[in-house]
Amino acid sequence: MWSKINLMIVFLIAANQRSMSQNQEPKNLKIFDIILTTLDSDYFDPTYGGLNWKSITESFRPKIKAYRSDDTLYYLLNKMLFNLGVSHLGALPPDKLNEIGDPQLTFDGAAGLDVMSLNGKAIIT
């Protein structure tokens, strides 16, 4: 049987989630819009690799608006950015920047070329 304390706890959790949602939505959309504005002005490929970038970003807008945690927000932002197919692009919360260290030390990859010596000369392939 539900006691008054149990009902009060359920009410407080629901009220807190509603408050969190209302407080998180503007923050989520502000971060989302900053990313889009930055990409529009600074991304190296104005065609976004031939993708319909506007359609992709608009499909993510309601999802990003709805989520209440920073972890989920940045997961969705990165899922959106990964559509671009570039390895050097991602979103991190500002408070996590110092935790990841040097990104070049934490990700595997190659420069896309090999250097070897052939008859005393450097050969790049």
pLDDT for position 92: 83
Give the architecture-level CATH label for domain 4-124. Answer: 2-Layer Sandwich (3.30)
Q: CA dist 37 to 5, 33, 59, 103, 104, Å?
A: 48, 6, 17, 24, 26
pLDDT for position 111: 62
How far apart are the C-alpha atoms of 12 and 91, rounded to whole Å? 32
Q: Whose CA is closest to 93, among 23, 33, 31, 11?
A: 31
The pTM of this model reads: 0.62
Task: Show me where the domains of the chain are located.
Answer: 4-124
pLDDT for position 54: 96
Question: What residues in the chain have per-residue pLDDT under 70?
Answer: 1-22, 97-111
